[in-house]
Structure 1
Amino acid sequence: MNTVLRWFGDRGVPRAIKILLWVIVGFNIALLAWTILSSLRDSRSLWTSPLGASGLNLGGYSRAWHAADFAGAFASTLIVVSASVAVLMALSVPAAYVLARSSRRSAAPLVTYFAAGLALPIQAVLIPYQALAQNLSQFMQDWVTGWWDDRISLVICNVAASLPFTVFVLTGYFRSLPSELEEAAALDGASPRTTFLRVLVPVARPGLTMVVVLNVIGLWNEFLLASVILRDPAQFTLPAALNQLNSTMQYTSDWGGLFAGVTILVAPMVVLFFWFGRKIMESMTLGVTK
């Protein structure tokens, strides 16, 4: 009994939390490994031996790739995510810098409004976004260009949905940077624009990298907006194509192909996070330690 009480003493709670975190990490790694293993097996072996490793082959990837046109979906995802992140950073980086350095009384309430936007779930604005996309498409087709790509509407909605998080995080990061940087640049005769582009942006590169990676992961896996805005299957992103593949594979009972589709969607973001994981952690704690 004394040993148990001693274990849950001053150091017991941190130990328990650490063990719990390792259990969660181990469970997720095991689940990812089982998904990849299942994508290499056929449906019969999955039913007879769910945890086995017999009959491994790459046929499921070929079936999934062609059944849901993953080649087109992969290209659409790259286009949508790249355009969304480019527009998002072009808008949020200057806005965050101005809010971080502004001495006006309206700056603090604006940051609060962006923070409040983090609490707004995407489901609450799904119908307004859908109506915006439809009206924009109709207007452009009838009055401006005569055509419209719904992926442009998806980019606009992605930017609007991701802007609160990006501006709020970057505002805190720019606040952590010393103001002496601007003062030194001003003494050298640099204009505010030059100071921002050539001094502050390079110094803030770790924070910008963190925000870009997190937004890429979030937008890559975004499904709700893509499912209600994209109407043409040829324009589907990977999550929408995977949903279509799920409907197809359920009727054919091709569970190996379905797991292969899940792996195709998840694997690039897992690799991306492992590649930039340490930089993300360092960037997230940098503003706290300064």
Structure 2
Amino acid sequence: MRTVGRYFGDIAIPRAIKAVLWVFVAFNLVILGWTLLSSFRGSRSLWTDPLGADGLNVGGYARAWHAGDFAGMALNSALTTAASVAGIMALSAPAAYALARSRRRSAAPVVTYFAAGLALPVQAVLIPYQTLSIKLSQFMVDWVTGWWDARISLVICNVALSLPFAVFVLTGYFRSLPTELEEAAALDGAGSLRTFLQVMVPVARPGLTIVAVLNVIGIWNELLLVMVLIDDPKKQTLPAGLSQLSSTMQYTSDWGGLFAGVVILVAPMILLFFWFGRKIMDGMTLGISK
């Protein structure tokens, strides 16, 4: 509780709202702790004593890891998430910086269009993305490389869906940075590209960290796009593997293995958030306070 509490300590929040937040945090921590405990127990003990701690073992993790082919799917998740976030940051950071420093009248409407993209649900573009993925695969196989990997289509769709959020957030963050930094770099003879890479990117690291971490969490947990765009189970990611594992475990009644699969999926993202949580809060409040 003390670890979670420091994220709210520096923010002025009314007592009633803070009390509700603490209740919400406590509830989620209890659910998280019970899920972690259940992942080390067998199905029979879960039914007879749901809150007990008897018969703890790691057998559920072994069963979940092999039954769901989590090794290959974890590698797929890591590769697609890393490639997607790299593409998002490579495109959004320069675009946001250009929009933040642009003096053209068209800059504000473009930022508004990116903000409007935040309201676009993935379900609204799911069929067009599936059609685009099929056509792109056929084109690459027939005319360019002779092969295509559906995971590349998944990365492209992840980048397209995440760009509105990334550009909108980073545009506001770059606007909060003082222009004196660029003026000083210009006096030293630095060009626009060098100023952006060597001056503005290091200064904007908190904002870049926010966007990167939040996109890692979102893409790691993405299920709908994976199920629609990738039909080969060997190329699917951990959320799809957990979905398949859930269907399997319902027939075998191996609830301990199912809880273990949930922990395998969510544990890396929980650790990532706790590792960067303070930086995320500092970066969000820094952009607001300037």
TM-score band, normalised by shorter chain: over 0.9
**Number of positions where the alignment pairs a residue of Structure 1 with one of Structure 2:** 278
Please show how residues 236-255 of structure 1 align to structure 2 within 5 Å.
Answer: 236-255=236-255
SS of the aligned residue for 2:125 comes to helix
User: 2:163 is matched with which residue?
Assistant: 163
Report the Cα distance in structure 1 between the residues aligned to 2:288 and 2:107, rounded to whole angstroms: 21
The Cα shift of 1:145 comes to 1.5
Bigger CA radius of gyration: 1
How high is the sequence identity, in percent, across the aligned residues? Answer: 74
Report the Cα distance in structure 2 between the residues aligned to 1:67 and 1:98, rounded to whole angstroms: 49
Report the Cα distance in structure 2 between the residues aligned to 1:199 and 1:44, rounded to whole angstroms: 60
Please show how residues 270-281 of structure 1 align to structure 2 within 5 Å.
Answer: 270-281=270-281
Please show how residues 73-222 of structure 1 align to structure 2 within 5 Å.
Answer: 73-222=73-222
Report the Cα distance in structure 1 between the residues aligned to 2:126 and 2:146, rounded to whole angstroms: 26
Q: Which ranges in structure 2 are unaligned for 5 or more consecutive residues?
A: 1-12
Report the Cα distance in structure 2 between the residues aligned to 1:68 and 1:90, rounded to whole angstroms: 33
Listed one character per residue, the Cα deviations across residues 170-199 of structure 1 (whole Å, up to 9, x for unaligned) are: 000000000011111111111111111110
Report the Cα distance in structure 2 between the residues aligned to 1:40 and 1:158, rounded to whole angstroms: 34
User: 1:7 is matched with which residue?
Assistant: none
Q: TM-score normalized by structure 1?
A: 0.95
Report the Cα distance in structure 1 between the residues aligned to 2:150 and 2:20, rounded to whole angstroms: 44
Given residue 65 of structure 2, which amino acid in structure 1 is its aligned partner? W
User: 1:224 is matched with which residue?
Assistant: 224
RMSD across aligned positions (CA)? 0.9
The Cα shift of 1:143 comes to 1.9
Listed one character per residue, the Cα deviations across residues 3-31 of structure 1 (whole Å, up to 9, x for unaligned) are: xxxxxxxxxx9221111100000000110
SS of the aligned residue for 2:14 comes to helix
The Cα shift of 1:100 comes to 0.3
Report the Cα distance in structure 2 between the residues aligned to 1:25 and 1:131, rounded to whole angstroms: 41
Report the Cα distance in structure 2 between the residues aligned to 1:89 and 1:286, rounded to whole angstroms: 20
Given residue 201 of structure 2, which amino acid in structure 1 is its aligned partner? V
User: 1:16 is matched with which residue?
Assistant: 16
Q: Which ranges in structure 1 are unaligned for 5 or more consecutive residues?
A: 1-12
Report the Cα distance in structure 2 between the residues aligned to 1:212 and 1:16, rounded to whole angstroms: 32
Given residue 287 of structure 2, which amino acid in structure 1 is its aligned partner? G
User: 2:44 is matched with which residue?
Assistant: 44
Report the Cα distance in structure 2 between the residues aligned to 1:79 and 1:238, rounded to whole angstroms: 12
The Cα shift of 1:209 comes to 1.1
Report the Cα distance in structure 2 between the residues aligned to 1:159 and 1:270, rounded to whole angstroms: 23
Listed one character per residue, the Cα deviations across residues 125-164 of structure 1 (whole Å, up to 9, x for unaligned) are: 1111111111111221222212111000000000000000
SS of the aligned residue for 2:57 comes to coil
Given residue 189 of structure 2, which amino acid in structure 1 is its aligned partner? G
